[in-house]
Amino acid sequence: MCEVLEKLRAWGCDLDGALERFLGDEELYKSCLPMVAEDESFDGLKEALAEDERKKAFDCAHTLKGVFANMGITPMFDTVEKIVEPLRAGINDGLMPVYEELSREREHLRSIIRIEGE
């Protein structure tokens, strides 16, 4: 297993489940990681939370939740779920600090992905 996948596993990602969904194709999985890290839903979520656009925020957060679930990126899934569920109930209060946590995790994911390019 390559260093990127080892780092993801050490971070708590469900690589076994993700690779099963990718039919064991590690290269295909790795090629999708940059798309996850650069998903436009991150920016959309930040803007929607700041502007209290709850429907848009929910849609962006729910999209990210699905992406993280399919990719087995459990730490980010767990964090975005803390945004999705309050938004599902129509609550936006106090979610920006959770978004900031998600943003830090995004940077961590980017740092793992960069290993491949070195």
Reported as a single tens digit per residue, the pLDDT across 33-63 is 999 999 999 999 999 999 999 999 999 999 9
Predicted pLDDT at 82 = 98
Reported as a single tens digit per residue, the pLDDT across 69-114 is 999 999 999 999 999 999 999 999 999 999 999 999 999 999 999 8
Domain that holds residue 23: 3-112
Structural domain count, the chain: 1
Predicted pLDDT at 1 = 66
Return the closest-CA partner of residue 109 out of 33, 17, 18: 33
Is 71 contained in some domain? yes
CA distances for 29 relative to 21, 72, 118, angstroms: 9, 10, 18
Residue 96's domain is classified under what CATH number? 1.20.120
Is 118 contained in some domain? no
**Full-model pTM:** 0.93
Is 117 contained in some domain? no
Helix axis angle, 26-37 to 3-11, nearest 10°: 60
pLDDT class for 116, splitting at 50, 70, 90?
low
Is 82 contained in some domain? yes
Is 43 contained in some domain? yes
